[in-house]
Structure 1
Amino acid sequence: MNKIITCLDGSAFSNAVCSAGIWAANKLSKPLLLLHAIEKENVAAAEDLSGAIGLGARSSLLKEMAALDEQRSKVALEMGKEMLANAQTIAEQQGCAQIEQTQRHSDIVEAICDLESDARLIVIGRSGQGNKPDFNAIGSHIEQVIRQVHTPVLIANKDFSAPKSFMLAYDGRETADKAVKRIIEGGLLHGMTCHLVTVKNKQSGLMEKFKATEKMLRDSGFDVKASFLEDAIFAGLMDYKTNNEVDMLVMGAFSHSKLAQAFLGSNTLKMIENTHLPMLILR
């Protein structure tokens, strides 16, 4: 698990993704892998229409559509190559020593899963190409990536600068304990102020776990500001984030199964949807 997989697609978030990937690669002294996935347009290709009523005899139209499909693919490929080349130039200027590029003709989630075995961190934009910069809903790929991979995922928003502090949302569950372990062992967040925030819930022994986690982080060299809140979970975390001007949010992955998710909702997804800060999801 060595590379910082940085997913570029030409969206409004690509510059932030590039900056976040470069920051992570330099902080961890790991190779930067610039990934561009060329996804099939959600339109009917010529071969899909060959059996349509009335089109069988109109071979000229089908040939024209095939030519347009081929041209579109060539343009997407060349634009992707130029984007990757520009990103590599920026990364070199900012001190990245090891940089790789790759293009995949596949869905971005499929491409990430194929490369995950050699990934240290996945950096991805909050929304993909085609969404407006002020689009509130997260891209459909985000939840799929978080659910399918076991590598930490850094979600970049429109702007990114090297963070000096982060808020760790700790709920006492196994996913949160694993996130703490990754923070201590990982190195990416070392040297940053940790805002350890727990909102009272029904988890057994939560206060004791909260205190133990605070001590563990302090013993590992983190400057910790610990807060135990009694509020609605989402509202409490959002208010703390705003009032304390943290630079990054850190959370464990989903606590519930996808079936339970449909009924209970997810504070993780709600935080992603409603924050403009970069967000690190740990498993």
Structure 2
Amino acid sequence: MTKNTVLACIDGSLSSTGVCDYAAWASLALDAPLVFIHVLDQQHAQPRGDLSGNIGLGSREHLLDELAELDEKRGRLMREQGRLMLEAAVERARADGVPEPLSRQRNGDLVETLNELEHEIRLLVIGRQGEVGDSVGQHVGSHLESVIRTMHRPILVTAGEFRKPASVMLAFDNSATTRKGVEMLADSPLFVGLPIHLVMVGADTNDAWEAINAAKNRLEKAGFEVHVNIKAGEVEKVLMDYEQEHDIDLLVMGAYGHSRIRQFFVGSTTTNILQKTSRPVLLLR
């Protein structure tokens, strides 16, 4: 896999088609190679429980051999299923206009695999829900949360079917992460020609306006149409209301700005927004 790759994680979930299409869009906009990856988690590939203790002494060896054969067959079937999913993803990306999409299949843990590949990734595209998450609505799984916490690359989390972005909202709080986000928006070909909404949640003060207007000026110098707003209220509600009111297609925000202990008691803005939004979220670290 070459450097500066758009890496898209696919599995058997309903979110995989959206992942394919958003990854193809990003690959074309960034003029970056696109690679689809399917990680076969060996832990989840094994049957639940150890049945050997329930097998009688006389038949134990024979049945253990049969169980081993079933495990091997199940592993082959899961690898074949993954291969077919990757082939379908490559064909879909070609239909979207990507000239040479590639695919990789790996065994192991998803988070560990992505960490190993991190130095080659320009943008990671992953669905909000995995195969298990499809059955629980807007659930944000622990795998996704772990990926977001450990990766240091931009992560595009998709939700639902593809809709080509025609507007972008940056949740701006004047932190180092969101100031870096302003520079990324200004310089990245991913957002060329899109109107950008800068939304700050907090008190309407001179300092707040100074910070957000500085960000606005930077983006306007880069040629963007920019809308700025400072609104008081609860962060998730303000951002979600604004997203719906202005029909925003892509939300950009920092990921997990507080400690794990604080999140345990009060929750995480990142997780809450991922659960509530029906649009893709680009997370910055």
TM-score by length of 1: 0.92
Q: How far apart are the structure 2 equivalents of 1:44 and 1:85?
A: 24
- Answer yes or no: is the 8 Å Cα contact 1:194–1:224 preserved in 2: yes
Q: How far apart are the structure 1 equivalents of 2:132 and 2:254?
A: 29
Q: Does 1:15 align with 2:7?
A: no
Superposed CA RMSD: 2.3
User: 1:156-180 CA distances to partner (integer Å, 9 max, x unpaired)?
Assistant: 1121121110111111222211222
- Answer yes or no: is the 8 Å Cα contact 1:10–1:83 preserved in 2: yes
Task: Sort the Cα spacing of 1:191 and 1:250 in 2 relative to 1 into closer, same or farther, 3 A.
Answer: same
Instruction: Give matches, 1:36-55, under 5 Å.
Output: 36-42=38-44, 52=53
Worse-matched range after superposition: 39-48 or 129-138: 39-48
Aligned with 1:240 (options 234, 239, 242): 242
Aligned with 1:163 (options 157, 162, 165): 165
Aligned length: 282
User: 1:85-122 CA distances to partner (integer Å, 9 max, x unpaired)?
Assistant: 11111222222123221001112222211211101100
* Aligned-residue offset at 1:143: 1.3
Aligned partner of residue 210 in structure 1, secondary structure: helix
- Answer yes or no: is the 8 Å Cα contact 1:7–1:34 preserved in 2: yes
Give the letter aligned to residue 234 of structure 2: A
Task: Sort the Cα spacing of 1:46 and 1:53 in 2 relative to 1 into closer, same or farther, 3 A.
Answer: same
Q: How far apart are the structure 1 equivalents of 2:69 and 2:205?
A: 60
* Aligned-residue offset at 1:257: 2.0
* Aligned-residue offset at 1:133: 5.8
- Answer yes or no: is the 8 Å Cα contact 1:36–1:84 preserved in 2: yes
Aligned partner of residue 205 in structure 1, secondary structure: helix
Instruction: Give matches, 1:169-180, under 5 Å.
Output: 169-180=171-182
Aligned to 2:129: 127
Worse-matched range after superposition: 30-39 or 254-263: 254-263
* Aligned-residue offset at 1:202: 10
Aligned with 1:250 (options 249, 252, 256): 252
Identity %: 36
Task: Sort the Cα spacing of 1:55 and 1:273 in 2 relative to 1 into closer, same or farther, 3 A.
Answer: farther
Task: Sort the Cα spacing of 1:11 and 1:39 in 2 relative to 1 into closer, same or farther, 3 A.
Answer: same
Q: How far apart are the structure 1 equivalents of 2:9 and 2:22?
A: 11
User: 1:114-137 CA distances to partner (integer Å, 9 max, x unpaired)?
Assistant: 211101100001010123266121
Give the letter aligned to residue 137 of structure 1: H
Aligned partner of residue 65 in structure 2, secondary structure: helix
Aligned to 1:88: 90
Aligned to 2:186: 184
Instruction: Give matches, 1:189-204, under 5 Å.
Output: 189-200=191-202
* Aligned-residue offset at 1:217: 1.2
Which structure 1 segments of 5+ residues have no match?
none
Task: Sort the Cα spacing of 1:45 and 1:12 in 2 relative to 1 into closer, same or farther, 3 A.
Answer: closer
Aligned to 2:106: 104
* Aligned-residue offset at 1:11: 0.3
Q: How far apart are the structure 2 equivalents of 1:43 and 1:116?
A: 25
Q: How far apart are the structure 2 equivalents of 1:48 and 1:260?
A: 38
Q: Does 1:263 align with 2:268?
A: no
TM-score by length of 2: 0.91
* Aligned-residue offset at 1:205: 3.3
Q: How far apart are the structure 2 equivalents of 1:96 and 1:83?
A: 17
Which structure 2 segments of 5+ residues have no match?
none
